[in-house]
Amino acid sequence: ETDPAWSPDGQWIAFVSNRSEAPDLHPDQADLYVMAADGSELHRLPTPIGSKTAPSWSPDGRWIAYIGTEGEGVWWKNSSLWLIPSNGSSEARNLTEEADLHTAHVTSADTGTGQMMPPTWSPDSQTIYFQASQHGDTALMAASLPGDKLLIERVIAEPGTIEGFTLSSKGDKLAYMLSTLTSPGQLYMRDMVKQQEQKLSHLNENWLRRLDLGQIEEVWFSARDGYQLHGWILFPPDFNPNETYPSILEIHGGPQTQYGRSFMHEFFFLAAHGYIVYFSNPRGGQGYGNAHSKAIANAWGTVDYDDVIDWANYMRKQPYIDRERMGVTGGSYGGYMTNLIIGRSNLFKAAVTQRSLSNLISMWGSSDFNWAFQQTFGDNKPPYVAVDRYWEGSPMKYIGNCTTPTLIIHSQMDQRVAQEQGEQVYVALKTLGVDTELVLFPDEPHGLSRNGRTDRRIVRLNHILRWFDKYLK
């Protein structure tokens, strides 16, 4: 059982429970229950099979909103905002399906400040506020329910990432944290009546004013099949368009995440040392609708690989890019893609692969998340049933072609992507005679780059810079 939530009158508790015969093997078979506070009654509400989280009662006690998906093994699918009568008199209704919104905060940042907020009701029980990842933003949205109509609109117009929010008891004031590409985050207040925002904090602003972070260009570009993709280019300080620069392609993890308008120390650190840093949202990630994320369901290393290569080729055509000094890096799924790239192309002169997947077969047996990976790239079949599918998508299948000098970074306490995944790349490259190093961080988990010990995060950044300077400077 998870996510308990009290009813406004204190008589009932809503919670999520997976009571299937094998919940560890079928984690998506979750249901929403309400139980009397004295334990005398228990009711299962009529919700569709699928993941569920964050049940939230309306102030009048008539409704429960929650975040969830419909279906089992549909990791590509948008999380949606659902609504159901608290007495179970009718089935749950998906409020955001037509809007094609992903109602979760999945915008990547390395500040460690983001949080997933539960649906928040207005005092009159007519409006639900929620986060949605959309085109590089984590936006604050509102679903209003006047009568039988449904109106979904964005509350805060300013581009950026809503890291957290809270509504006053009267519903007339909204406090929220907003981060952007150039600000780690500030506290704001919105007058909901006057519809005006006020910045309340100014943390780090004096320090940031003394720094030249470089200019950022937002672009949309065409993939080889004409599909429109979204990306950003960070230029180094004192950028001169008449000169050429070394560059680093950053690939996000997930893959069900997105890059966007949030602060990334890593990007600015590399740009400050003279690199053009560019990043995009290839198909397979969230924030661009179900079709975008479904494109690589059980097909990792297909159109997502093409999208990343097309992004690199788009940059190669820019007059300020030195084609002989291009590097690539990424972590987790981004490390998977980096491993795939060095085995399938010679486009980059150096690579840094971090907490990376390399062998999807052994990954299945060593990850704490193996059931999700089985659903994501194994067509919900284990490798002993679908070994060819797992191997076809594995970077190790192609690693014998690698000639790219590659630094491998891994955390020794990584339970999501075990250390052996990085070691396989290291042993292969050593055997091939390709220049490589393996850097291991003790006592650190999968999220070293986001929430690891500060000194180790700095050491990690310096290793990345050292490797790229060696081959691209």
Give catalytic residues, as residue numbers: 332, 446
In SS3 terms, the chain reads as: CEEEEECCCCCEEEEEECCCCCCCCCCCECEEEEEECCCCCEEECCCCCECEEEEEECCCCCEEEEEECCCCCCCCCCCEEEEEECCCCCCCEECCCCCCCECCCCECCCCCCCCCCCCEECCCCCEEEEEEEECCEEEEEEEECCCCCCEEEECCCCCCEEEEEEECCCCCEEEEEEEECCEEEEEEEEECCCCEEEECCCCCHHHHHCCCCCCEEEEEEECCCCCEEEEEEECCCCCCCCCCEEEEEEECCCCCCECCCCCCHHHHHHHHCCCEEEEECCECECCCCHHHHHCCCCCCCCHHHHHHHHHHHHHHCCCCEEEEEEEEEEECHHHHHHHHHHHHCCCCCEEEEECCCCCHHHHHHHCCCHHHHHHHHCCCCCCCCCHHHHHHCCHHHCHHHCCCCEEEEEECCCCCCCHHHHHHHHHHHHHHCCCEEEEEECCCCCCHHHHCCHHHHHHHHHHHHHHHHHHHC
